[in-house]
Structure 1
Amino acid sequence: MAHETLIQANLEKFLLVLSVSLSVVTLSRTVSFMRQIPYTLLLVIVGVLLAFEDVRLVNLSPELILEIFLPPLLFEAGWNLHWKDLKRDLFPVTLFAVVGVLVSVLGIGWMLAQFTDIPLAVSLLVGASLAATDPVSVISLFRELGVSRRLTTLMEGESLFNDGVAVVAFGLLVSLALGTEEFSVRSTIADFAVFVGVGVGMGSAIGFGISYLTQRFDLPLVEQSLTLVAAYGTYVITENLGGSGVIGVVTTGVILGNFGSRIGMNPRTRLLVSEFWEFIAFFVNSIVFLLIGDRVQFESLQENLVPMGIAIAAVLLTRGISIFGLGSLSNALANSRISVKELTVLWWGGLRGSVSIALALSVPAMLSQREDIIGIVFGVVLFTLLVQGLTTKSLLQNLGLLDEQSRREEFVEAMARRSALERVLNYLETSDRPSEIDEEFYQYQFALVRGELHKLQHQIEGLQKEDPDLQDYANELVKEKLLAIEADTYAEFVRSGQLNKELAPFLQEVLQKT
């Protein structure tokens, strides 16, 4: 009986959280002044207001964040992350994700130890909690604002892969703070290699395994369900094997999104799965951001105002050093061509969120400064979400980066409409006119469609004159379409039994030469 009562109570709490979240999201799209605020940040604000009134919805535990919320969000991000774009910027992403995290851990830890009475070991623990930019916060914000694909790839790639370094650093520093382990460079590097290696290995095995499995049948709902099992299954298995569940899930998502969806899913299934994960990401984001704000403890924030202010300054300073320093290094060594404007957005857009909170909440209770760590981390997270998050859109507009993305979106929309009308025109030209349709009406429709096509063509040409880079973008879209057609054709041959194995892409190397 008690068990049934507990289930009912948890269900009621879940429904309450969901109702509040969806109400806020609905208001953010119907009230004019709220439309200027990304709905994720609006959820944080509402959560903070609820916390101020001491209304606690659900206890936000590290297990809830890491095991329930993160896997689907990471998988969805990996599914939509284009490998070609990531490969192009793999060098700067690796620098930001590895070296940048180390700079943040050491820099934040040193500043806290230098300017407060917090011991160095505990200060470094705060640094590790705040070192990784949060993929949940960053991805949702950038997508909602419509940031350019290149900038989104840089931020997403860093955010998705820097958690492995931060978690390894956090685990080591917890042991140092408790005095249960001594620092060793060799063992630290070995632990990190195992952590990342197991994550990539398990993610690759599951990703490629499901990719080849879905080649053998065409059952959209089963294939959709397999991706959901893959997201949670990869995380659980990888963590149990001592690897990084985060890196494992991201690897699985990238493989299934870029490889499995091409060789094992027809276009309709691919669209169905993409829409399914778009819904899952929206659903989970609507809950997690509300709970982040609702978890705030104002007493703890007030008691740690000074170290919190120092931590905020340290986060901004170390982030600036790593982004501008490593970005310049990447430009010099790998000719990455990351502009100062893009580096500025990467610096200011380095939000902290659920990952930092999960790490802070997982500090052992036996550590006497645990509540101080949680208070400082929550304060910094709130600053990045509410101050940096709410001003990121203005920064993008002032730098002219949103205008560029708007032109690109307008260009793609015009091309899509042109393609649709060309199909309509082709139907009118080639199909037999039904006898009951008046010839004059038929010709009038034909003239209307052809006129709209001319308007769209002038619009496309005008956009290309305004932004010559759109021509290169159009060329890339055509290449992607050709590669997709090639992959779909091979998949059809495998599913029909005419081929026993997937053929390696032929066009990819050919198109790279053009």
Structure 2
Amino acid sequence: MVLKSAIAEEIITNNLKQFLLVLSVSLSVATLPQIFSWFRHIPYTLLLVIVGLGLAFADVRLVTLSPELILFIFLPPLLFEAAWNLKWSELKRDLVPICLYAVFGVVIAIAGVAIVLNQLAGISLTTALLIAASLAATDPVSVTALFRELGVDSRLVTLMEGESLFNDGMAVVAFGFLVALSLGTVELEFQPILVKLFSVVGIGVGVGGFIGFSISYFTQRFDLPLVEQSLTLVSAYSTYLITEDLGGSGVIGVVTTGLILGNFGSRIGMSPRTRIIISEFWEFLAFFVNSIVFLLIGDQISFASLGENLQIIMVTVAAMIVIRAIAIYILTKLSVSITKSEISLPEQTILWWGGLRGSVSIALALSVPTTMPEREKIIATVFGVVLFTLLVQGLTIKPLLEKLNLLGDAPLREQYLELVARHVALERVLQHLQADQRPGIDPDRRYQETLIKGELADLRTKIDKLQDEYPNLQIFITEQLRGELLAIEADTYAEFVKSGRLNKELASMLEDVLPNHQKEA
């Protein structure tokens, strides 16, 4: 008994040391862009992959990357954070193209890549299907982070994030079915496949919806930021585990919970202060998890294995890029014919080239049963393709945005917000100075007032000049004002409901408020 206890303690100590080592390396990489300006041109997650590759080349292995580590520990917080920050109004606007990309895009990707690998690379159909299914899930974390930094149109961000959130679930479901098919535990018949798909998706949406709405109404009864923050964390993991245990898609369950809590629960059950605390917590957690995942992806690369399967990797990369282009352009055309909402050709091109693969693909490849005859080939191919998408596509997305004139006006907005913040701060200083009636400070007060008023006039001139030179800035200002007014209105209703002064359900009131503001926009 004593021996078992000593062994367990040793294992825990070693795991803690490995975790601290990974964390130390990740945080060291995070500081590089602040020390060396050249590194600022590389998205942070890609920089982690490059450092991980350097460690792999030196044969320094930080930790073994298992599918359980990614799927059960890393994936739920990443999915929840993305869903929490995804605005339902924007998602609803582009729900048709997102669903087309996530459902039919996955089917086209699996079928197309598998056929090419089977016919051109001479790989067995079973192996080809598992490689294709592993690579069907997109993971544009580094791309969307770059989009926000550069101020790319929010619609493009929503399309990419929405597709990624939903096609993760579809890819995991498809992969699970193909593994079961190869092991002979299911039959390839249309009706069972359809029933299985609807049950897996239905259970995910059902469990996610139940947990999301339950927590939303529960948090109406109190305002305890740390408790509500903890509830969101528990909901992410519990939704995933419960849904998986019930035979549903944990990915779809977590996405559903995140969407409900981010768009509904945070409005009816959380104060503005609590929402800020929780949003900042999830921003930190996403940064923390991404730091570890992308570093370990690079660190797990086996250069010898990549060399042995280089031909298959090249064929897979070519097939994947061509098939995704076909899927994006065809499905976009279908979406436009249904919704009459245009998606420009440059935007379609970014959606095509920005379809990076990442942690989900790695986890699926690693979860292939050890009894499969070509398991190592599947893992090596998927790792090689993921590496290509992260380094080649990930590093060329910014030049492509510049070429297609899709770069936003983030620096301009940042400059405007800094001027406004300075103006508001000085106005408050002036109000405080004028309200200060202490005897003996009149001469200094008048001097300070003159200085502050002069600075305020200078700031107003700069703000007016910025608005005159960039008329599009007015759209941003208007959107910001509408958002602030809507938030104040929603928070006021929540305050009345919580205090018992209003018996009407807050959800129905917000449903009346939101459409009115959207019509005005």
TM-score using structure 2 length: 0.93
Maintained 8 Å contact 1:203/1:248: yes
Which of 506, 513, 519 matches 1:513? Answer: 519
State the 1:463 CA deviation.
4.8
Q: Say yes or no: does 1:486 pair with 2:489.
A: yes
Larger CA deviation: 299-308 vs 405-414: 405-414
What is the match of residue 42 of structure 1? 47
**What does residue 131 of structure 1 align with?**
136
SS at match of 2:135: helix
2:140–2:354 CA contact under 8 A, matched in 1: no
For structure 1, the 5+ residue unaligned runs are: none
Q: 1:346 to 1:481 in 2, by over 3 A?
A: same
Q: 1:427 to 1:449 in 2, by over 3 A?
A: farther
Matches of 2:11 and 2:177, distance apart in 1: 37
1:149 aligns to 2:154 (yes or no): yes
Q: Following TM superposition, by how much is the alpha carbon of 1:420 offset from its aligned partner in structure 2, in angstroms? A: 4.8
**Would you say the 8 A contact 1:66–1:358 is kept in 2?**
yes
Identical-pair percentage: 61
Q: Which of 280, 297, 310 is equivalent to 1:292?
A: 297
Deviation at 1:49, TM superposition (A): 1.3
> For 2:290 and 2:351, how far apart are their aligned partners in 1?
21
Alignment of 1:183-332 (within 5 A): 183-332=188-337
For 1:60-79, list aligned pairs within 5 A. 60-79=65-84
Q: Which residue of 2 aligns with 1:440?
A: 446
Which residue type is aligned with residue 508 of structure 1?
Answer: L
Return the match for 2:388 from 380, 383, 386.
Answer: 383
Using the TM superposition, give the Cα deviation of residue 377 of structure 1 relative to its aligned residue in structure 2, in angstroms. 0.4
| 1:405 positional shift | 4.1
Give SS of 2:14's match: helix
C-alpha contact (below 8 Å) 1:104/1:315 kept by paired residues: yes
Within the candidate set 7, 25, 30, 2:12 is matched to 7
Q: Indicate the residue corresponding to 1:476 in structure 2.
A: 479
Q: Which amino acid aligns with 1:127?
A: A
Partner of 1:399 in structure 2?
404
Q: How does 1:342-361 map to 2 (within 5 A)?
A: 342-361=347-366
Return the alpha-carbon distance in structure 2 between the equivalents of residues 264 and 427 of structure 1: 35
Change over 3 Å in CA distance of 1:111–1:453 after alignment to 2? same
Q: CA deviation at 1:324?
A: 1.6
Aligned length, in residue pairs: 510
Q: 1:434 to 1:318 in 2, by over 3 A?
A: farther
Judge conservation of contact 1:105–1:131 (CA < 8 Å) in 2: yes
Between 1:98-107 and 1:489-498, the stretch displaced more is 489-498
Q: Assess if the C-alpha contact under 8 Å between 1:421 and 1:453 holds in 2.
A: no
CA distance in 2 between partners of 1:232 and 1:350 (Å)? 26
Of the candidates 497, 501, 505, which is equivalent to residue 502 of structure 1?
A: 505
Q: Distance in 1 between matches of 2:333 and 2:410?
A: 24
Query: Are 2:354 and 2:393, in contact at CA under 8 Å, matched by a contact in 1?
Result: yes
**Equivalent residue for 1:336?**
341
Q: Give the Cα separation in 1 of the matches to 2:298 and 2:128.
A: 24
Larger displacement relative to structure 2 (416-425 or 456-465): 416-425
Which whole-Å deviations, capped at 9, do the CAs of 1:174-215 have from their partners, x for residues lacking one? 123333432111111211111111111211111111111111
Q: Please list the CA deviations of residues 455-506 of structure 1 after superposition, one character each: whole Å capped at 9, or x if unmatched.
A: 24314423542x3xx4444333333222211211122123323234532223
Contact 1:74 1:135 in 2 (8 A): no
Judged with a 3 Å threshold, the aligned counterparts in structure 2 of structure 1 residues 200 and 490 are, in CA distance, closer, same or farther, namely same
1:91: how far off?
1.0
* Cα RMSD (Å): 2.0
- Choose 443-452 or 413-422, whichever is displaced more: 413-422
Distance in 2 of aligned mates of 1:19 and 1:144:
25
Secondary structure at the counterpart of residue 401 of structure 1: coil
Per the TM alignment, residue 79 of structure 1 is displaced from its structure 2 partner at its CA by 1.1
Say whether the 8 Å CA contact 1:411–1:463 is kept in structure 2: no
Q: 1:452 to 1:190 in 2, by over 3 A?
A: farther
Distance 1:453 1:141, change over 3 A: closer
**Cα contact 1:216–1:494 (8 A) shared by 2:** no
After superposition, the C-alpha distances for 1:373-419 in whole angstroms (9 at most, x for unaligned) are 11110000000001111111111122222244444444555555555
Give the structure 1 partner of residue 164 of structure 2. 159
Change (3 A) 1:417 1:158: farther
Conservation of the 8 A alpha-carbon contact between 1:147 and 1:401: yes
Q: Is the 8 A contact 2:179 2:368 kept in 1?
A: yes
Does the 8 Å CA contact 2:143/2:354 hold for their aligned counterparts?
Answer: yes
Question: Is there any run of 5+ residues in structure 2 with no aligned partner, and where?
Answer: 1-5
Asked if structure 2 preserves the Cα contact closer than 8 Å seen for 1:73 and 1:136, the reply is no
CA shift at 1:243, angstroms? 1.4
Stretch moving more, 120-129 or 348-357: 120-129
> C-alpha displacement at 1:101, in angstroms?
0.9
The code of the aligned residue for 1:39 comes to Y
Q: Aligned in 2, Cα 1:501/1:416: closer, same or farther, shift over 3 Å?
A: farther
Following TM superposition, by how much is the alpha carbon of 1:333 offset from its aligned partner in structure 2, in angstroms? 2.3
Q: 1:182, 1:155 → 2: CA distance? A: 34
Distance across 2 between alignment mates of 1:32 and 1:162 = 36
Shift of 1:335: 2.2
CA offsets, 1:151-190, max 9 Å, x none?
Answer: 1111000001101211121112112333343211111121
Q: Distance in 1 between matches of 2:516 and 2:106?
A: 38
- Determine if contact 1:148/1:405 at 8 Å carries over to the other structure: no
Distance 1:286 1:472 in 2: 35
Task: Tell me if the contact between 2:140 and 2:355 (Cα under 8 Å) persists in the aligned partners.
Answer: no
Question: Is the contact made by 1:77 and 1:139 (CA closer than 8 Å) also made in structure 2?
Answer: no
Match of 1:26 in 2: 31
- Is the 8 Å Cα contact of residues 136 and 354 (structure 1) preserved in structure 2? no
Structure 2 distance, partners of 1:512, 1:146, is 22
Contact 1:16–1:57 (Cα < 8 Å) also in 2: yes
Find the counterpart in structure 1 of residue 3 from structure 2.
none
Q: Deviations over 1:300-322 (max 9, x none)?
A: 21111111101000110011111
Q: Name the CA distance, whole Å, in 1 between partners of 2:401 and 2:21.
A: 35
CA offsets 1:116-135 (integer angstroms, 9 cap, x no match): 12111221111111011025
Secondary structure, aligned partner of 1:400: coil
CA offsets, 1:202-248, max 9 Å, x none? Answer: 11111111111111111111111111111111111111111111111
User: Cα distance, 1:426 vs. partner?
Assistant: 5.7
